[in-house]
């Protein structure tokens, strides 16, 4: 089995992730069973409340708010291989749109009552200053990973550190749940490569249309990913998850992976969005396996392969709405579902309150 040593800053953050105590989850189940309803009748809402109770150390009341969406943007050099439906310049245009409140993520965050941070981790453009954007550019996009590693070690570490720092900032503001969002033309290609490297899929199994390439282009996109995997096969075989992330990932994906690790280290719940955010989760999981119980999967993306990935991870999404936009849009809807679970858990009367005794 491959062995690896984490950079000290990652090892330190990973060491701060507290294991979830099964006793807290058992106590939450007991409380749910005591509420004025048939046992188990709230279905998966009970599962989500139990998971939150484990994350939050058995605290009553449970809390989802304040909830924060972090949408991180970056460009991808592999777009030069003709794998995307739109040019890389669309990344910058969309980020500016987010700054002005015109994106789907802006409006769904407003609907869900979530604060939104939009972060430039690696957009290939000079973006305007403004209160709607966190300027944290590490590089002007990644390199073309069919020819070299997508990121240098320094760049990958910087992106992971950015995510950890965002989690630290969120924690100082009392955030209880972080949603993961992203924007970056070409990032379904990078995500597919990461799923293949970390989970053993072939490109042909899980390559999808991304932002809208024609189905006739799928064989070309899969072939590009296969070339990248062949070029970096020694890195993949080495099993070092940070090196795999540097070779095949994206700056926004690495930053989201750091954000997951950082959020878990602070005891915050994480709402994973769709295909690309799940790639960040898989990277974080391989770096720090203890993140797993802190994460919820908001929806099953319509992007080909996401269902297969979730099945391999043993995860069932909260929702399945045919979404494939990214940005964190599905995660906003997942947060609304968790709020419902928390409200029922915190607010319902118990059978004892009503003086009811049942034989169960």
Cis peptide before 199 (omega within 30 of 0): no
The first and second tokens of residue 37, run together, are: 């309803």
Q: Is 294 helix (H, G, I), strand (E, B) or coil?
A: helix
Compute the C-alpha angle 181/81/83, nearest 5°. Answer: 45
Tokens, residue 353: 């309150």
The residues carrying an active-site annotation are 327
Burial classification of residue 151, based on how many CB atoms lie within 10 Å of its CB (0-12 exposed, 13-18 middle, 19 or more buried): buried
Task: Compute the distance between CA of residue 187 and CA of residue 206 in angstroms, rounded to an integer.
Answer: 14
Beta-strand (E) ranges in the chain?
67-74, 115-122, 134-135, 177-183, 269-272, 295-297
Strand order in the sheet with 295-297: 134-135, 115-122, 67-74, 177-183, 269-272, 295-297
Radius of gyration of the chain measured on its C-alpha atoms: 20
Residues 6+ apart with CB under 8 A from 40: 33, 46
What is the full DSSP assignment across 28-72? Answer: HHHHHHHBSS-TTTTTHHHHHHHHHHHHTTT-SS----SEEEEEE
CA quadruple 331, 332, 338, 344: dihedral, nearest 10: -160
């Amino acid at each position: 089995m491959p062995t690896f040593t984490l950079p000290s800053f990652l090892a330190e953050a990973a060491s701060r992730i507290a294991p979830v105590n099964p006793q807290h989850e058992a106590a939450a189940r007991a409380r749910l069973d005591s509420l004025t309803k048939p046992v188990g009748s709230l279905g998966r809402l009970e599962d989500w409340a139990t998971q939150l109770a484990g994350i939050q150390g058995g605290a009553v009341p449970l809390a989802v708010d304040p909830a924060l969406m972090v949408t991180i943007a970056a460009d991808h050099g592999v777009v030069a291989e003709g794998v995307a439906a739109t040019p890389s310049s669309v990344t910058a245009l969309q980020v500016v749109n987010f700054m002005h409140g015109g994106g789907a993520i802006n409006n769904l965050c407003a609907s869900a009552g979530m604060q939104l941070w939009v972060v430039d981790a690696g957009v290939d453009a000079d973006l305007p200053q403004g209160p709607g954007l966190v300027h944290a550019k590490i590089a002007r996009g990644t390199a073309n990973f069919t020819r070299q590693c997508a990121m240098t070690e320094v760049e990958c570490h910087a992106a992971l550190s950015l995510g950890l720092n965002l989690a630290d900032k969120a924690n100082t503001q009392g955030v209880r749940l972080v949603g993961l969002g992203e924007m970056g033309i070409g990032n379904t290609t990078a995500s597919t490569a990461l799923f293949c490297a970390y989970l053993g899929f072939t490109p042909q199994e899980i390559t999808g249309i991304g932002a809208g390439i024609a189905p006739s282009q799928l064989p070309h996109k899969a072939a590009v990913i296969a070339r990248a995997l062949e070029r970096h096969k020694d890195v993949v075989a080495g099993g070092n998850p940070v090196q795999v992330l540097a070779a095949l990932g994206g700056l926004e994906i690495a930053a989201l992976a750091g954000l997951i690790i950082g959020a878990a280290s602070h005891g915050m719940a994480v709402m994973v969005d769709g295909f690309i955010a799940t790639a960040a989760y898989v990277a974080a999981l391989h770096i720090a396996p203890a993140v797993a119980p802190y994460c919820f999967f908001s929806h099953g993306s319509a992007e080909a392969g996401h269902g297969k990935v979730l099945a391999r991870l043993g995860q069932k999404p909260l929702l399945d709405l045919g979404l494939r936009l990214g940005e964190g849009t599905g995660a906003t809807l997942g947060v609304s579902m968790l709020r419902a679970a928390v409200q029922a858990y915190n607010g319902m009367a118990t059978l004892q309150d009503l003086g009811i005794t049942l034989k169960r």
